[in-house]
Amino acid sequence: MIRGDNRRVLAWFEEEGPFHVALMKAREYWYILITKNLRKKLGVKESNAYVITLEQDQSEYGHEVPEEFEVLLDQDEEGQKYFNSLTPGKQRSLIYLVTKVKNPESRMKKSLAILHHLKVAEGKLDFKQLNEWIKHYNNL
């Protein structure tokens, strides 16, 4: 399942999925973290046993990229350069910020704010500043 240092996998819980997760190493075993929101969505209870199917994640960023963000990356060379210079974890964090928004117009505004921030900050990600840019773009 592991390619080099990439431990990203797709997981199906009781055949529902796929969900992008990472294999985590403890001293004697491997595990995956399931976020509180995902546990709630799936109705996962700690005391129950579940069938979980794993498959190697072949995606470029270890997460699905929203169409709005992908289009902007394709159109903005400078923004794409700064985005690609980030660590894979920071890339996934930014992608997730866009993914969790349901409204396409809001996803576009958040995508614009992210790329604007990366260009202004010359690729140095500052989440406090980024949140200010997101507020700014949401008010346009």
At 67, the pLDDT band (50, 70, 90 cuts) reads very high
Whole-number pLDDT of residue 28: 92
Contacts 24+ apart (CB under 8 A), 114-117: 114/69, 114/83, 115/72, 115/73, 115/76, 115/79, 115/82, 115/83, 116/79
Average pLDDT rounded to a whole number, residues 58-74: 90
Average pLDDT rounded to a whole number, residues 87-115: 94
Give yes or no for residue 103 having a pLDDT over 90: yes
Report pLDDT digits (tens) over 6-41: 889 999 998 899 998 999 999 999 999 888 888 898
Whole-number pLDDT of residue 4: 77
Question: Which comes out higher in pLDDT, residue 73 or 45?
Answer: 73
Closest by CA position to 126, among listed 78, 134, 35 = 134
Give yes or no for residue 140 having a pLDDT over 90: no
Domain coordinates in residue numbering, the chain: 8-56, 67-138
Spatial contact of 10 and 17, defined as CB atoms under 8 Å apart: yes
